[in-house]
């Protein structure tokens, strides 16, 4: 049998590593296949070994999810980031960054892009604040609310689905607002920011982290366009300066404007460094575990591509802290 026709199983840890370092997994597989062929004496100069019987993989899944969120992706993402989280930054980081909000049990907070509700619940537990979480994905919102109910936080940290493109007025006014990588996929950013500001009390604070174009020239970057074409919803990226204009036009004064790209890259790298342990556990589950591994691989591809765009300066991760300006009345003059 010609060496080129063999199926070589590249170790999953190796596939994660080559993705992470920017190599093509298919190229690595081809090289390993050729190496295996030489070691076994395949080809014109040697007799082939007896064929090795390999356990067949499950039939290819033509509808393997990465987006939208289904139960398998929700399960996998918590293996990597922790229960209740679907991206970088666990409880310790949420608590550390949220100290800027100076929250207390007497306050209420709006969490935009609540995901699986992990940040909402940790804010409620740590600071005693009353949370209203909203999430664009119906699947994530339902899963998040189930966790809040399970943890006895259905009233303290509820999560519901909403439409970020047409947010409408939120049901109450809030002392604080928090958004973690929630606006870069929203087309109507100005409308959403205006609505958040409208429901923020005077001198209330808005803490936001998100991804931005490093500069407007990056909008045509080929690697960025290729990455965007694989996403659903498609990222609607703006520059940091454009976001500043949106915040200021919504009567929000900027207190902190900080590039956190290096920190974000480190969070991604740290979380995925233990992915081999996740893979090992999934392998023990048999066929269903292999399907989850495929989901894991697609998730790894997303985060490694995003990390590469941050590392090469195409994108930046940024943190804003803004405050609602007090509207002057006649008595203030």
Average pLDDT, integer, range 35-64: 46
Show Cβ contacts of residue 71 under 8 Å, excluding neighbours closer than 6 positions: 139
Mean pLDDT value across residues 266-278: 89
Q: Peptide bond before 247: cis, by omega within 30 degrees of 0?
A: no
Question: What are the tens digits of pLDDT across the range 245-254?
Answer: 999 999 999 9
Max avg pLDDT among 277-281, 287-291, 305-309: 305-309
Q: Is the pLDDT of residue 31 over 90?
A: no
State what percent of residues in the chain have pLDDT above 90: 64
Residue 90: helix, strand or coil by DSSP? coil
* Average pLDDT of the segment spanning 256-266: 97
Higher per-residue confidence, 25 vs 316: 316
Is the full-model pTM beyond 0.75?
yes
Report yes or no: 183 and 113 within 8 Å, Cβ to Cβ: yes
Full strand arrangement of the beta sheet holding 252-259: 159-161, 130-135, 108-112, 174-180, 200-213, 315-324, 252-259
- Give Cα separations from 325 to 35, 101, 179, 202, 245 (angstroms): 66, 15, 19, 6, 15
From residue 234, give the alpha-carbon distance in Å to each of 152, 206, 214, 297, 320. 35, 25, 18, 20, 23
DSSP string covering 126-167, please? Answer: HH--EEEEEES-HHHHHHHHHHHHHTT-TTTS-EEE--TTS-
Kindly tell me if the per-residue pLDDT of 33 is higher than 80.
no
Which comes out higher in pLDDT, residue 195 or 50? Answer: 195
Alpha-carbon distance of 239 to 224, in angstroms, equals 14
Q: Does 49 score more than 70 pLDDT?
A: no
Rounded average pLDDT over 77-83: 94
Cross-strand partners of 213 = 239, 315
Overall average pLDDT of the 162-170 stretch = 92
Q: Check: CB of residue 87 under 8 Å from CB of residue 115.
A: yes
Pairing assessment for the beta strands 130-135 and 108-112 based on DSSP bridges: parallel
Helix (H, G, I), strand (E, B) or coil at 197: helix
- Say whether pLDDT at 128 is over 50: yes
**Does position 8 have pLDDT exceeding 90, yes or no?**
no
Q: What is the pLDDT of residue 68?
A: 76
Given a cut of 90, is residue 330 above it in pLDDT? Answer: no
Q: What domains are there in the chain, each with its CATH number?
A: 1-55 (no CATH), 71-267+307-326 (3.40.50.150)
């Amino acid at each position: 049998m010609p060496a080129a026709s063999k199926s070589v199983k590249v170790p999953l840890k190796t596939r994660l590593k080559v993705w992470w370092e920017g190599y093509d997994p298919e190229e690595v597989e081809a090289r390993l296949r050729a190496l295996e062929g030489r070691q076994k004496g395949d080809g014109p100069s040697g007799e082939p070994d007896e064929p090795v019987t390999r356990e067949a993989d499950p039939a290819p899944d033509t509808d393997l999810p990465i987006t939208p969120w289904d139960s398998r992706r929700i399960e996998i993402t918590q293996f990597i980031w922790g229960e209740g989280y679907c991206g970088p930054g666990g409880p310790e980081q949420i608590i550390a960054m949220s100290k800027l909000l100076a929250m207390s049990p007497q306050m209420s907070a709006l969490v935009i892009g609540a995901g699986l509700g992990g940040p909402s619940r940790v804010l409620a537990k740590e600071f005693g604040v009353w949370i209203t979480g909203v999430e664009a994905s119906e699947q994530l919102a339902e899963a998040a609310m189930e966790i809040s109910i399970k943890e006895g936080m259905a009233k303290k940290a509820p999560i519901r689905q909403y439409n970020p493109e047409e947010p409408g007025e939120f049901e109450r006014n809030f002392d604080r607002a928090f958004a973690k990588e929630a606006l870069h996929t929203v087309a109507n950013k100005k409308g959403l920011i205006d609505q958040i500001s409208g429901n923020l009390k005077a001198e209330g604070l808005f803490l936001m982290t998100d991804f931005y174009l490093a500069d407007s020239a990056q909008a045509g970057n080929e690697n960025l366009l290729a990455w965007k074409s694989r996403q659903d919803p498609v990222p609607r990226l703006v520059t940091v300066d454009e976001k500043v204009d949106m915040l200021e036009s919504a009567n929000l004064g900027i207190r902190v404007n900080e590039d956190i790209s290096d920190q974000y890259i480190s969070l991604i790298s740290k979380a995925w460094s233990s992915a081999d342990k996740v893979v090992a556990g999934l392998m023990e589950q048999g066929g269903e575990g292999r399907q989850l591994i495929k989901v894991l691989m697609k998730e790894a591809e997303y985060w490694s591509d995003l990390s590469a765009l941050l590392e090469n300066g195409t994108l930046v991760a940024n943190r804003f802290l803004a405050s609602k300006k007090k509207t002057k009345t006649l008595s203030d003059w």
